[in-house]
């Protein structure tokens, strides 16, 4: 059976890894290639790169970075951020990424999910949802968590699956960078609503929070950034802890 995946996430701006809190307050967190190699060496199951550049020049830098990273690590990696067209997707995949992640453009133009899955295969199309709690439900936010859409997260997740996406990367805006633990209720609801894998993101703080997101949140993969960037834990430590708690992981 499948192992649960541990996925470090690198937010990249102007060639550096940065990390914020609740989608703001960015701070320098390292060199992308160095971090990618470190995590590969520690046994990361995948890597996710989110390009948070706004400029064209910045995006070009990210593309050459993708090429460089592909030559050095031999696990799957996903690139997201600012992707709008099929042409953008092709460029990133051609540079060596295995999957792409779309967010805002999927909400604005859901047809791109269908078109991209058909052309490149469902397996390489990840749709990212930035979710914020709104009473008993969760609402989808776009444009880096700045803009509410009025769309319900569970409804959107169902639609994403129907349109052919291969995975959902689910980030809790309320928990992002807070170190309060993942939003377990949100993760569980989404994971049980759809039949494609869910990568939980936002809030990882200690070993138990990662155990919880698998056990209680029913996530297929856990994404984390700060705890790895700032060396609170290595990926090896996380996996050792999970194994001890009877969660299947790749050693």
Partner 1 sequence: MISIIDYGAGNLKSVKNALDYLKADCRITDKAADIQNADRLILPGDGSFGYMMENLEKKNLITPIKSFIRSGKPFLGICLGLQALFEESEESPGVKGLGIFRGKVVRFQKGKIPQIGWNKIIPAKGNIFREGYVYFVNSYYAVPEDKSVIVSVADYYGDFASAIECKNVLAMQFHPERSGKCGLDILERWLQC
Site of interaction with partner 1 (CB under 8 A) = 1-5, 40, 43, 45, 70-71, 74-76, 93-96, 98, 118-124, 166-167, 195-197, 220-221, 250-251
Instruction: Please say which residue, 71 or 136, places its beta carbon nearer to partner 1.
Output: 71
Contacts of 241 by beta carbon, 8 Å cutoff, 6+ apart: 207, 210, 211
| Cα–Cα distance for residue pair 30/36, rounded to 1 Å | 10
Q: Is 220 a catalytic residue?
A: no
Find the catalytic residue in 51, 88, 98, 130.
Answer: 130
Q: How close are the terminal C-alpha atoms of the chain, in Å?
A: 14
Q: Is 174 a catalytic residue?
A: no
Contacts of 164 by beta carbon, 8 Å cutoff, 6+ apart: 113, 114, 117, 118, 122, 125
Q: Which residues of 175-191 are buried (b: 16+ CB within 10 A; e: fewer)?
A: bbbbeebbbbebbbbbb
Strand bridging mode 16-21 / 5-13: antiparallel
Find the catalytic residue in 11, 45, 212, 220.
Answer: 11
Instruction: Please say which residue, 70 or 179, places its beta carbon nearer to partner 1.
Output: 70
Instruction: Please say which residue, 100 or 142, places its beta carbon nearer to partner 1.
Output: 100
The nearest distance, CB 18 to partner 1, in angstroms, is: 26
Instruction: Please say which residue, 9 or 18, places its beta carbon nearer to partner 1.
Output: 9
Active site residues: 11, 130
């Amino acid at each position: 059976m499948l192992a649960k995946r541990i996925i470090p996430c690198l937010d990249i701006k102007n060639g550096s890894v940065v990390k914020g809190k609740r989608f703001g307050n960015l701070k320098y967190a390292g060199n992308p290639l160095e971090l990618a190699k470190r995590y590969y060496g520690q046994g990361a199951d995948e890597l996710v790169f989110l390009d948070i550049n706004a400029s064209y020049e910045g995006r070009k830098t990210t593309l050459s970075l993708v090429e460089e990273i592909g030559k050095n690590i031999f696990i799957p990696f996903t690139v997201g951020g600012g992707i709008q067209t099929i042409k953008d997707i092709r460029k990133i995949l051609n540079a060596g990424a295995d999957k792409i992640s779309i967010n805002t453009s999927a909400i604005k133009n859901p047809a791109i999910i269908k078109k991209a899955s058909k052309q490149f295969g469902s397996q390489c199309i990840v749709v990212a949802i930035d979710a914020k709690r709104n009473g008993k439900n969760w609402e989808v936010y776009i444009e880096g968590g700045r803009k509410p859409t009025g769309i319900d997260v569970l409804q959107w997740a169902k639609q994403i699956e129907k349109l052919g996406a291969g995975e959902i990367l689910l980030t809790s805006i309320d928990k992002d960078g807070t170190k309060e633990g993942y939003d377990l209720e949100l993760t569980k609801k989404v994971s049980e609503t759809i039949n494609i894998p869910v990568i939980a993101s936002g809030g990882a703080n200690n070993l138990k929070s990662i155990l919880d997101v698998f056990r209680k949140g029913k996530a297929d993969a856990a994404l984390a950034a700060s705890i790895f960037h700032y060396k609170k834990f290595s990926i090896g430590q996380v996996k050792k802890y999970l194994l001890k708690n009877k969660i299947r992981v790749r050693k």
